[in-house]
Amino acid sequence: MNSIVLAQDPTLADFGRDPWWLVLGKIVFAFAFGLLATLLGVWFERRVVGYMQVRPGPNQVGPLGLLQTLADGLKMAFKEDILPKAADKVVYFFAPTISVICAVTALSVVPFGPMVSIFGHHTPLQVTDVPVAVLLLLACSSMGVYGIVLGGWASGSTYPLLGGLRSSAQMISYEVAMGLSIVAVFMTAGTMSTSGIVAAQGDATRLTIFGTEIPAPGWYAILLLPSFIIFFIATVGETNRAPFDLPEAESELVAGFMTEYSSLKFALFMLSEYVAMVTMSAVTTTLFLGGWRAPWPITLWEGANSGWWPMLWFFGKVIALVFVFVWLRGTLPRLRYDQFMRFGWKVLLPINLVWILVLSGLRSIEDWDTKGKIIAVGVPAGLLLIATLFWPSRKPQPKPTMQERVDSRPYGSFPLPPMDLQVPPSPRITRVVAEREPANIVAGSDTREV
């Protein structure tokens, strides 16, 4: 890593020295980023899904429909706020607020960029950092489910309660897999500080593996490929996004935990879901995609990781991950609840435990470069995991012939309508009429005349 990049990496000692107005500005920026990303995220999802479904999406309110989300927010603000008679009023009111606060709080330890100069003050583009920042991220993710559980319980209705219970079980199942994936990250980085994890992902060395010198991939998405795959799957489950949106499954629970909410309270729940999606995309970028560091080949430019340019790379990675969230929603069907729970406990958790054990064993070997041996084992293991997840579980059935499809049709159905366009007699009605009035049935006659 060159000296320019090293000079830009913030450390824990760089925090806590800013004046109050600069700290306040960072807090407002983080909050504005979450809010603005949510507004644009709703528009982005509608446009992308519309493109996938060969329809325009929102395009009337503002240029390219950019003001559609703002119009929807104003519409929900003026809608009638209905309070269920059996609701616990205090908890019912504060539940959406808990979800939003927890989602936004996680942005406080996410590094948006390196050290920059703001009005003469040399400061990192991050609200704050602590030695256990990763644990703070886990705590915010865990606390966010309280808003859903309390909202479902306080509504005083059956379907919201079932949605809240599903969300709690979902959080417990996938929080374990997510935590084990993060264990692999700070085992490799040697720190739980988010700025330290980003600094540890710099492309600084070249590795010699089996006598061949190769550039070292700094991103943990490559170095710890199994952890990255499991972490992202757990992230989709944590944020209740499709195909894991079981707490709000409209085909089973009407709208789940949000069934009894309306007006601004419903808007807060919707806001919290999109803020959580953007926040977890930012967390994934920080832990596995190098944070604000530029991807190759932009790194060939010496100033790519200095100044304000890294914010552009960071936002680009976040948008790419949000696109993957939208892509999953537009392509995958919702899982059954038993499939979802089985996948978390019987697939992701054992694989993660085995990978952590293998990673610990590799780090204990002293006669081989640590990063090289992790790459040599982690990349094939990650590819094997991807192949296992997407491998078809059933052999494809041979396609039946035309004659077999015709023969398999029930009695009374035709592959083509009759040439005279007359409706054929219904076998069921014919049978019922034959039982009642056997003498009136004439073969081939229209049952309506009978």
Structure confidence by residue, pLDDT tens digits, 233-262: 988 888 878 788 877 776 677 777 878 888
Q: Encoding tokens for residue 132?
A: 């256990």
Give the pLDDT mean for 163-191: 85
How confident is the model at residue 288, as a pLDDT?
Answer: 92
3 has a pLDDT exceeding 50: no
DSSP string computed for 154-216: HTTSHHHHHHHHHHHHHHHHHHHHHHHHHHHHHHHHS---HHHHHHHTS---EEEETTEEEEP
More confident residue, 325 or 408: 325
> Which of 65, 259, 73 is closest to 157 using CA atoms?
259
pLDDT, residue 325, reads: 92
pLDDT of 196-226, one tens digit each? 899 888 755 555 555 555 555 578 888 888 8
Under DSSP, the state recorded for 306 is S
pLDDT at residue 443 greater than cutoff 60: no
403 pLDDT more than 80: no
How far is it, in rounded angstroms, from Cα 329 to Cα 309? 31
What is the Cα–Cα distance from 426 to 441, expressed in whole angstroms?
A: 13
Contact 119, 300 (CB under 8 A): no
d(CA 418, CA 228): 58
| pLDDT tens column, 411-434 | 555 555 555 556 666 666 667 666
- pLDDT level of residue 449 (50, 70, 90 thresholds): very low
129 has a pLDDT exceeding 80 = yes
Nearest C-alpha neighbor of 238 from the set 141, 323, 320, 146: 141
Parse the chain into domains and list their residue ranges: 3-390, 420-450
Q: How far, CA to CA in Å, does 230 sit from each of 224, 247, 301, 431?
A: 10, 21, 33, 57
Give residue-wise pLDDT tens across range 349-383.
888 888 888 888 777 765 555 565 666 666 667 77
Question: Counting beta carbons within 10 angstroms of the beta carbon of residue 97, is it exposed (0 to 12), middle (13 to 18) or buried (19 or more)?
Answer: middle
CB distance 293 to 310 below 8 Å:
yes
| Residue at 164: amino acid letter | G
Mean pLDDT across 158-187? 84
| Percent of the chain with pLDDT strictly greater than 70 | 78
More confident residue, 60 or 209: 60
Could you tell me the pTM of the whole model? 0.78
Average pLDDT across the chain, whole number? 79
Burial state string for 40-65 with b = 16 or more CB within 10 A and e = fewer than 16 = bbbbbbbbbbbeeeeeebbeeeeeeb
* Arithmetic mean of pLDDT, 18-23: 90
The per-residue pLDDT for range 75-93, each reduced to its tens digit, is: 888 888 788 887 888 888 8
Local confidence band at 285 (pLDDT 50, 70, 90 cut-offs)? very high
Phi, psi of 209 (to 5 degrees): -120, 120
pLDDT value at residue 320: 93
Strands 115-118 and 206-209: unpaired
Q: Report the first-to-last Cα separation within the chain, whole angstroms.
A: 90
- With beta carbons less than 8 A apart as the criterion, state whether 102 and 143 touch: yes
Whole-number pLDDT of residue 321: 93
Helix (H) or strand (E) holding 116: strand 115-118
Asked whether the beta carbons of 101 and 74 are under 8 A apart, the reply is: no
Tokens 């600084």, residue located: 204
Cβ(275)–Cβ(34) below 8 Å: yes
CB atoms within 10 A of CB 228: 24
